Amino acid sequence: MALAERIAQWMRQHAGVAGARGLLVGLSGGIDSAVVARLCQMAMPTNALGMILPCHSDPQDEVDARLVADTYKLPTVRIDLDAPYENLVGVMSPAATRLPAPTPSPMVSEDLRARLPLANIKPRLRMICLYYAANRLNYLVVGTGNRSEVSIGYFTKYGDGGVDLMPLGDLFKSQVRTLARELNVPQAVIDKPPSAGLWLGQTDEGEMGFTYAELEAYLEHGAGEVTPAVAMKIERLMRASEHKGRLPPVFDMAGTP
């Protein structure tokens, strides 16, 4: 059985166990969400839905998301999150001036530290919309994260990390690219530089500080396959994001003196 069919069968089985009627995915215009969209359709052909959720996004992302939906004839729902984002930022900005000064971190540049709190609101707003629709329809929310990203916590906690299924979670980015070609994802989407769409011009590799190829080489063969500087960056990200892969720690009454 081909890999895509195996994944689709796995998704269908999980939906059945959960008593879910269908599957939905946020269409970002990127390769990962395009692959997941097609897998959702393979798993549940009549009950798959794509959601397009622009939030001060690059207009090309929506063009590419619609290209994917049109290619597969996938039903979509669009919700414009510009106004909710602006309203929320407007409410929180005055409070931000009263917060203590943040502690500098060697892992995060001053520019990135200033951008991320606002940028991470976007995937969290999208998560709210996805679960609203999923609850209304009794669908499962399907995530688009791959093994490369999950390994270093390259996702927003309770944002794009807030999902029910992760069909690509054991596939490297290169394997997702191969699967995309097999599933006839539009070439323009396959060739597009990977981006979380957090701000205009943002790219995954630019933000991470290394390439997906370097990350995959490290994960497959160890630190010796990349430069010491890249290995250090990857290991720092792994340590800093360990909490993203676990449920919150619970205080143990029985284990305290």
Residue 79 lies in a domain: yes
Q: Residue 230's pLDDT band (boundaries 50, 70, 90)?
A: very high
For the chain, percent of residues with pLDDT exceeding 70:
95
Q: How far is CA 119 from CA 116, 124, 182, 199, in A?
A: 5, 9, 33, 7
3-state DSSP assignment of residue 218? helix
> Is 40 exposed, middle or buried, given 0-12, 13-18 or 19+ CB atoms closer than 10 A?
buried
Sign of CA dihedral 32, 30, 185, 72: positive
The answer to whether residue 221 is domain-embedded is no
pLDDT in tens, 80-118: 999 999 999 999 888 888 888 777 666 566 666 677 888
Residue 244: inside a domain: no
Those residues whose C-beta lies under 8 Å from the C-beta of residue 111, and which sit 6 or more positions away, are none
Q: In sequence order, what are the residues at sequence separation of 6 or more whose Cβ sits closer than 8 angstroms to the Cβ of residue 49?
A: 22, 23, 24, 25, 40, 74, 75, 76, 77, 133, 137, 139
Q: Determine the pLDDT at residue 128.
A: 98
CATH number at residue 102: 3.40.50.620
- Please indicate, yes or no, if residue 202 is contained in any of the structural domains: yes
So what's the pLDDT on residue 102?
A: 73
Are 169 and 145 within 8 A, CB to CB?
Answer: yes
pLDDT higher than 80, residue 200: no
Are the C-beta atoms of 194 and 180 separated by less than 8 Å? Answer: no
Q: Which residues of 51-76 are buried (b: 16+ CB within 10 A; e: fewer)?
A: bbbbbbbbeebbebbbbbbebbebeb
The structural domain count of the chain equals 1
The residue written with tokens 């995309």 in the block is: 180
Does 34 map to a domain? yes
Domain of residue 16: give its range: 3-207
Please tell me the pTM assigned to this model: 0.91
pLDDT, one tens digit per residue, over 31-80 is: 999 999 999 999 999 999 999 999 999 999 999 999 999 999 999 999 99
- pLDDT tens, position by position, 7-38: 999 999 999 999 999 999 999 999 999 999 99
Name residue, tokens 């995937």. 123
In a domain, residue 181? The reply is: yes
Q: Would residue 256 count as lying in a domain?
A: no
Residue 243 is assigned to a structural domain of this protein: no
